[in-house]
């Protein structure tokens, strides 16, 4: 009864409408970007010819990510969502992906567990208005010349090169990237994707256990984004970052569980996720 096809440009209106039901705030450009990153890995679920769900994937060598999993409300609990997720896993496995990550709503974790994903850790999705926050020395805005080093540095933490994702984000002149350096070596970086009135901070990757660097980078970006509505996804265990944000105007919107299918390779040096759908 259910079948799955590759997402095409004709499906973008549906993808936006169905995700609007969850207030994920995605626009057609977001799905175009996903299709640019993974042309064969964005899917639409159909019942006969009726579109009833979507899911997206992205592969970075041996690490992949699943996101935007959603089924029309009146078609749930009939096995459609499981079919969709299994299809994503199979697609990524065929691309030689060994580790698949996703961020799950807490109440959906049993659904993913049943499909072979294992709980890893929790992340808090925060929203608030950016505030004035001067940062200390050692942090500077990245230049084009830093891009290669940022991408290489990210790989040491993420476990695979996210070049195809990071390059377009870093090259977009609206976005911000700051690096923290010591003796000319990168100790961490942070990126903010800047839209008209809002911004999404992430990824931020720093040396494990050096959350002072992550805080300093975050301050530099918040300072630049004064007046913007900002969102970010921070590990729950990073209490110093969470307390700093909550002490200002930020509050937790919801929290999610990071889960992995296969061996978890991502190290404990992700201080902010890039996005829920891409890791």
Q: Applying CB under 6 A, which residues contact ligand COA?
A: 22, 69-71, 76-82, 104-105, 108, 110-111, 114
In degrees rounded to 5, what are phi and psi of residue 108? -100, -5
d(CA 178, CA 190): 5
For ligand COA, the closer CB: 259 or 266:
259
For ligand COA, the closer CB: 74 or 143:
74
DSSP run (H or E) holding 6:
strand 2-6
For ligand COA, the closer CB: 52 or 221:
52
Quote the least distance from Cβ 2 to ligand COA, whole Å. 9
Bridge partner list, 54: 44, 70
For ligand COA, the closer CB: 80 or 220:
80
Rounded to the nearest 10°, the torsion over CA 96, 188, 200, 126 is 100
For ligand COA, the closer CB: 108 or 210:
108
Tokens of 197: 């009135």
Quote the least distance from Cβ 81 to ligand COA, whole Å. 2
Quote the least distance from Cβ 108 to ligand COA, whole Å. 5
Helices (H), the chain: 12-20, 28-37, 80-94, 109-114, 147-158, 163-171, 211-224, 239-247
Quote the least distance from Cβ 78 to ligand COA, whole Å. 5
CB-based closest residue to ligand COA? 81
DSSP run (H or E) holding 198:
strand 198-206
d(CA 173, CA 64): 27
| Interior angle at CA 157, CA 203 and CA 191, nearest 5 | 15
Quote the least distance from Cβ 159 to ligand COA, whole Å. 22
- Location of structure tokens 């050096």: 210
Quote the least distance from Cβ 119 to ligand COA, whole Å. 13
For ligand COA, the closer CB: 91 or 178:
91
């Amino acid at each position: 009864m259910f079948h799955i096809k590759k997402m095409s440009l004709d499906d973008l209106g549906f993808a936006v409408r169905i995700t609007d039901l969850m207030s994920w705030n995605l626009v057609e450009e977001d799905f175009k970007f996903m299709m640019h990153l993974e042309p064969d890995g964005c899917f639409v679920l159909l019942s006969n010819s009726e579109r009833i769900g979507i899911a997206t994937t992205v592969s970075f060598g041996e690490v992949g990510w699943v996101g935007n999993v959603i089924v029309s409300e009146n078609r749930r609990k009939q096995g459609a969502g499981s079919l969709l997720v299994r299809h994503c896993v199979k697609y990524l496995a065929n691309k030689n992906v060994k580790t698949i990550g996703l961020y799950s709503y807490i109440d959906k974790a049993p659904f993913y567990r049943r499909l072979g994903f294992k709980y890893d850790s929790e992340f808090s999705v925060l929203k608030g208005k950016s505030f004035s926050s001067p940062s200390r020395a050692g942090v500077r805005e990245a230049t084009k010349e830093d891009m290669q080093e940022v991408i290489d540095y990210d790989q040491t933490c993420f476990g695979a090169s996210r070049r195809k994702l990071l390059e377009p984000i870093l090259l977009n002149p609206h976005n911000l990237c700051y690096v923290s350096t010591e003796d000319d070596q990168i100790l961490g970086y942070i990126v903010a994707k800047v839209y008209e009135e809002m911004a999404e901070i992430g990824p931020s990757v720093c040396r494990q256990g050096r959350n002072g660097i992550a805080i300093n980078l975050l301050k530099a970006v918040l300072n630049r984004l004064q007046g913007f509505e900002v969102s970010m996804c921070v590990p729950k265990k990073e209490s110093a970052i969470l307390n700093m944000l909550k002490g200002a105007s930020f509050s937790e919107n919801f929290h999610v569980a990071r889960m992995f299918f296969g061996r978890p390779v991502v190290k404990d040096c992700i201080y902010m996720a890039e996005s829920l759908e891409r890791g």
